[in-house]
Amino acid sequence: MVLLSVVKTFYAPAAGFAAGLSFGVTFAATSLGAIAGFTVFYFFCDIILNRFYKKRKSHPSEKQLKKARKIVIFKKKYPVWLFLPMLTIMSVPVMAIIVRKFFNHNKPMFALSLLTVTLFALVGCLVFSPIQML
């Protein structure tokens, strides 16, 4: 279950409750797995991105420049706390790479991301806890 929560934090508690684990154990395993997965992908995404960028052309195309402008406008227009829950629903590795790439300059972003992942683990546990009753 810990390995499942590295990828999908919200849906991992369903596996824990189906296996017959208690609420506390399921929450602890889910949140620890999500925090560990986020931390690993956050600090090793530079290696992943460097390999990706080696394969790219040296000069960006007009389409890539338009996409980059849209990202900058989105970052300036909307606050970060609206963006994090949407990322957590996708997956933890995607969230870690996006946070590292686009919000690396924001110092409390790492702690806020860990808090968001933990809260989504709690929400997942609360949503899927009725599976224990079956």
Could you list the pLDDT tens digit for every one of the 134 residues in the chain? 678 888 888 788 888 888 888 999 999 999 999 999 999 999 988 887 777 777 666 677 788 788 888 878 877 887 777 777 777 777 888 888 888 888 877 778 889 999 999 998 999 899 998 887 76
Contact between residue 2 and residue 89 where contact means Cβ atoms under 8 Å apart: no
- Domains in the chain: boundaries: 2-133
**pTM, whole model, 2 decimals?**
0.79
First to last CA, the chain: 19
Distance CA 22, CA 86 (A): 28
